[in-house]
Amino acid sequence: MTERMDAFAEPFVPENEKDIGFDTITRGKYRAEVTDASIAAMKNGKGTMLCLSWVITGGDYEGRYVFQNITHTHTESPEAMAFGRSMIKALCASCSITGPVTNVDVFLYKPCLIQVGIEKDKTGEYPDKNKVTRIMPLVVNAPPQEQKAIAPKAAPEKGNGAKGDLDDAVPF
């Protein structure tokens, strides 16, 4: 059993801490990885969803989290289930996962590229929030290869073709 304490080991001084804020991050593509994954029942009881916590791993928003719930099963909407399962398929492809997945831990700490959008509350009651709109494989650009100068080919002489009037070098 975990020991419970009611005091900090060291004093916590709020003024010394950084305020990370909860503003949305800008729409765009970000390098990220899943830090937490689980399967949960939907609040309405009509299915299950894959719940993911993504952390941005580079750039201006490094360390920021984006949360995503993807429909896995749905008893009333085959369209919602098909859309969700295609998103899970994209996650598998982005993480190089093939074959049947039985445990969501396989998604943890695999670098991906996510496209982040902003979802607005239609009622205006809640602030805007980020949402993952696409999951893609992270393609690391190889360093550019050294380009070698290529000597230009000599222009073919006129009349070398089979009929005498063609000046291309096509052998057929």
Structure confidence by residue, pLDDT tens digits, 110-119: 999 999 999 9
Domain residue spans of the chain: 24-137
- What pLDDT score was predicted for residue 81? 96
Average pLDDT over residues 142-151: 51
Average pLDDT over residues 131-141: 90
The architecture CATH gives domain 24-137: Beta Barrel (2.40)
Residue of higher predicted confidence among 73 and 167 = 73
- What pLDDT score was predicted for residue 6? 87
Confidence of residue 144 (pLDDT cuts 50, 70, 90): low
Look over the chain and give the mean of its residue pLDDT values, rounded to a whole number.
85
Which residues make Cβ contacts (< 8 Å) with residue 46, sequence separation at least 6? 74, 75, 76, 77
Percent of the chain residues past pLDDT 70, beyond the cut = 78
- What pLDDT score was predicted for residue 80? 96
Residue 90 DSSP SS3: helix
Q: Give the model confidence (pLDDT) of 10-64 as tens digits.
A: 888 989 887 766 789 999 999 999 999 999 999 999 999 999 999 999 999 999 9
State how far the alpha carbon of 137 is from the alpha carbons of 29, 63, 107, in Å.
11, 20, 13
Q: Which among 56, 53, 66 has a CA at the least distance from the CA of 23?
A: 66
What amino acid is encoded at 140 in this protein? V
- What pLDDT score was predicted for residue 141? 64
Average pLDDT over residues 90-116: 96
